[in-house]
Structure formats: structure tokens, C-alpha cells
Amino acid sequence: MEIVPVIVVIRENKTNRIRFHLDNLFLGEDKTPNIFIWEDGNYACDCNRGLFFDRAGNDEEREHECSQNTGDDYSVNILLQNGECIYSEFGMQILIEPSTYEETDKSTD
Ligand SMILES: [Zn+2]
């Protein structure tokens, strides 16, 4: 099966932090990328999205509650390598406003 590399932009909704996860999607017979796994499959679930988010930031992996395949805590946009968005769950304007990105919620005391 043919695959296409994609960039999955993952937003942690409660902090608005954004991270980039690299993935490959299968191409369907019509040559369009199959986004099922992110839309309704295992990667639609917060338990997986949360892990990808942690890993993308080289954070220690946290426990993420299963959300029955809905992305309540994490939303994703999926881009081809040329930047074309092929799946969107949140507005992309946040990507061109890097001032909203904060890396500093590790210091809890
Ligand atoms: Zn789950």
C-alpha cells in the first residue's frame, strides 16, 4: 500500500499548546490520504493523542484518560508536507501567532 508522510499538529486544548507529530497515512484507491484513524479510529482518542503530544515535546509520558475515540482534550490538524491541510479540528490562525505558545508549565512548585 502506498503511504504519504504527514504532519499532525496536535493542540492540547486546555493550554493551547501546539506540537508536531510526524506520521504516515495510507493512500486510498483514489489516491487521497486515509484519515480514518485520526477521525474515528484509535488516534481519535485522547489516550493516544496525549501520548503523541508528550513524545513530541520529549516530555515524560503522562497517563491520559480514554475518551471513547473523541478528542476532547486534544485536537488535531493534519497537513501534507507542502502545508496543505487535509483534516482540521481547530482553526489554524493559532499557528501564525507563536506568542500563544508557552513551554513553561513544568514548574509546579
Ligand atoms: Zn483511548
The helix or strand, by DSSP H or E, that contains position 59, with its residue range, turns out to be none
Residue 93 is part of which domain span?
3-105
Distance (angstroms) between ligand 1 centre and the Cα of 16 equals 21
Average pLDDT estimate for 58-81: 88
| Phi/psi of residue 47, nearest 5 degrees | -65, -40
Q: Is the pLDDT of residue 98 over 50?
A: no
Q: Of all residues in the chain, what percent are helix, strand and coil, respectively (each to 5)?
A: 25, 30, 45
Distance (angstroms) between ligand 1 centre and the Cα of 59 equals 19
Distance (angstroms) between ligand 1 centre and the Cα of 92 equals 25
Q: How many domains does the chain have?
A: 1
Distance (angstroms) between ligand 1 centre and the Cα of 96 equals 30
Beta strands in 31-102 (DSSP E): 74-80, 85-88
Which value, to the nearest 10 degrees, does the dihedral of the CA atoms of residues 33, 38, 41, 44 take?
Answer: -170
Q: How confident is the model at residue 70 (pLDDT cuts 50, 70, 90)?
A: low
Distance (angstroms) between ligand 1 centre and the Cα of 11 equals 17
**pLDDT value of position 69:** 64
Q: How confident is the model at residue 97 (pLDDT cuts 50, 70, 90)?
A: very low
pTM of the model: 0.80
